[in-house]
Structure 1
């Protein structure tokens, strides 16, 4: 029926976190949430009332989620990661955000259509096209886009962009240098490819500032405004697209 499914191992891991004895949803909240989804999609769940006849609430949540189709399971886990019953400052918040990021990274194709965020989508799609000959860099860009769509403005999204750009430069320049040490080599390559001195100087200065921004904010796990994340995303895509066009 569906070409892709969410493995029971991942579903079980998600339920262990979301219905954890100490920091997870309560049994009544599990029942109310799953009954809501059951009513929405006309699905029969195994535990429609509380207390339920199950070994524990984690098992009840898992078996309930398994009654739904994969795209519905995706949406359920996504929404339960931010369920209203989790208090502000909950000790499980970071783990829930990691779970959500993994959900998007591994099973993003199952995500029901939603309104996209205000990224320059044509630019991102164009960059994907140019990166087909560089699959490792493309994979990191795809992971970052999934996390952006999920609303996860965290360090790991920016790290994906940084690593994707670094992997691309290693590929086109055929070296193993870190991103910070690629500024001069890519400048020389742009110059050799016919770029004007003014453009080459601007490009390398921007790349140098990009590295400094990453080191100052991201490596210290700073909380970044959404508009800055959007700008860095689009800047990374612009870097990638131009590098491939000029050096490919």
Structure 2
């Protein structure tokens, strides 16, 4: 694929992300998306992605590879700073939430990632078989599995499901609010990058503690202050994200 072709595919992916975030998948119109990216080729979606559904999956793939790379880097940074590498539930929850902050950080000043995730039920584990479709989906999948095992060992199934639903609903709404706030800050103070980064890091820590406390009230261990260092160490290890510009036929490569 030529760099010109990749550039067009990336524009289509990003415009689709914003359209789905605002209008939902049903409301997003491929004709409008192509008009927005400035191409007169009405068959560009079919040519590059195969279908509208595959295009929406391409948005997931575009972000998902980076999300999992950051998740793995963050887990490694946390384990190196925690005694005996014993991670609490709060650590695991933060490992699921922290990649969202990393993506938003690198999508500013106009980020639609959290809204896209919420519109597609992405905060709920098992929403799709993406861990099978994408070989790089392992780190996030492993975190969800570890969270489920930790909760199942402590809570009856009925209580677990009730608390989990409430936590997911709260988490989605909270991410929408912080994404909007960070977009506003990035637009108003374009040179104050660290201000936005600090907001995102603080939010990850506070939200992780809040979600963990609501899930496992009887055995809640708050995150320590050095988690902020782990967040930044993981971001420094990855640097600028290497976004995945794939098509319907090459998610698994």
TM-score normalised per structure 1: 0.36
Structure richer in helix, relative to its length: 2
Q: Which has the larger radius of gyration?
A: 1
TM-score, normalised by the number of residues in structure 2: 0.35
Q: Could you say which structure has the greater relative contact order, defined with CA pairs below 8 angstroms and 6 or more residues apart?
A: 2
